[in-house]
A and B are shown apart, each in its own frame.
Chain A
Amino acid sequence: MNLWKTWKTAFDAWENNTAQMLDPIVRSARVLEPAGSALSAAMKLKSMTNRASAAWWSAIGLPTRRDQERALHKLNTLESRILDLEEQLEDANATQAVK
């Protein structure tokens, strides 16, 4: 067994033990709750920045990022509904052709 193989065997044993040791730690409320709080605080700060930026754009009469997203989403929804209608029309025509 060469040096690398010996090292690798030792590493595998260490990695396995460390992963098992860390598992209850990363699952514990003492880790998850502060992580959740930090993430939520960062997200709330981002939302505040987004709102301030949107207010500025609105104040000078320009559409906000949200306005544009909403409009694009409506277009996508409209495309989907048109496809639904096309399918229904095709089905209705096929049924009529059979009759």
Chain B
Amino acid sequence: MMKGVFNLARRAKQGLPDVGRTPADVVHAENKWSLLRYRARPDGLAPGRPIVLVPSLINRHYVLDLMPSKSFVEYLVDQGRDVYIIDWGTPTAEDRYVTFDDIADRILARAFRVAAKVSGSPDVHVLGYCLGGTLTAIHAAVRPRRVASLTVLAAPVDFHDDGPLSQWTNTKSFDLDALVSATGLVPWPLMQAAFYLLRPTMLLSKGVTLADRAWNDEFLDGFLAIERWGNDNVSFPGECYKRYIGRLYRDNALIADAFSLSGERVLLSNIRCPVHTVTFGHDNIVPWRSAAKLMDVVGTEDKKHLHLPGGHVGAVVSKKARHKLWPELLGWWQERDGGPAVRSVSADAAGS
């Protein structure tokens, strides 16, 4: 343990590790959000459609490009893929009026159009992570033109689950309108507090784990990078939050076919492109059954469900992900692009 303490003291002088280091260029910027295109590997791009990554609104995009060897983006670029990601930026006071339709309809449509145009492709593969997955599923149901395939990682679809977040948002005394009216942008510390409720002993447990394994530089790098990301959150545009919590969490309108996007009814059965859903067994933010529900409602026969062990974040950025999840996703896209299949699905992965 003492070795760990000394190592931690030594590392404290170096500061937090760099994150999101894969080189990228901004190909479109509008209001606070921007679309980044990662620079191709020196050998150039391999054949295949571009991939657009859509992260959650609450967290920073660089979770998918955390650090070398723990970066899904770096992996895809190394494999020759043309990768884009949406950086939602940091909303400011006037963005309280940004609506769910602005984000799930107009912004996503623009991002997919720009990516397709820059890459010279008619459409793009779309991957949505967490809330990003919900947004992309809604978009694909109503605006399918540019979506060649849809991959959703740990994205809530059925919001009436047994998770604590669902129970909190359905608390009768929680006045959604009062919160949005008073804050405008729903402050991220408030949302983070709700996440801590998921496991109240988490902070203490993290501290002890850190003390126990701080001697290991590799562990320390990963731990500090995740902590940096986990505490670098953004506040949520109020109007959008009101609809997200009110219609999705409280009314469960998406699964009841009662949700609308820019006035058009969202029927998930209208999703006809290939769909790949990934769920994580120990995900306590998005219970896996809530995410897996998408498989039951989409209108395509080309669908696949991959269920892996691990939590909401760890399962996407861990060492294991590099050997299981990432090759699986890449292989699935390659098959849909008519290229050679890359298979390395683990025995514990359940496909259907």
Chain A interface (Cβ < 8 Å from any Cβ of B): 4, 8, 11, 15, 18-19, 22-23, 26-27, 29, 32-37, 39-40, 42-44, 46-47, 50, 65, 68-73, 76, 79-80, 83-84, 87
Residues of A within 8 A of B179 (CB): 39-40, 43
**Min CB gap A57→B, angstroms:** 15
Q: Interface size on B (CB < 8 Å)?
A: 36
Main secondary structure of the interface of B (DSSP, over half): helix
- Interface residue from A68, A71, A83 paired with B30 (Cβ < 8 Å): A83
Residues of A within 8 A of B12 (CB): none
**Min CB gap B137→A, angstroms:** 23
A73 touches B167 (CB 8 A): no
Q: How many angstroms between the C-alpha atoms of A76 and B257 in the bound complex? A: 31
A69 touches B97 (CB 8 A): yes
B97 touches A73 (CB 8 A): yes
A15 touches B184 (CB 8 A): no
Chain A to chain B: the 4 pairs with minimum beta-carbon distance, closest first: A36-B173, A72-B94, A36-B174, A40-B175
Residues of A within 8 A of B201 (CB): 15, 18-19, 22
A22 touches B200 (CB 8 A): yes
**Min CB gap B267→A, angstroms:** 25
| B181 CB within 8 Å of chain A | yes
Q: Which of A32, A34, A42, A71 counts the most chain B CB atoms within 10 A?
A: A32
B178 touches A73 (CB 8 A): no
B173 touches A43 (CB 8 A): no
B171 touches A32 (CB 8 A): yes
**Min CB gap A32→B, angstroms:** 4
Residues of B within 8 A of A76 (CB): 31, 94-95
With A18-B201, A87-B113 as given contacts, are A69 and B96 in contact (CB-CB < 8 Å)? yes
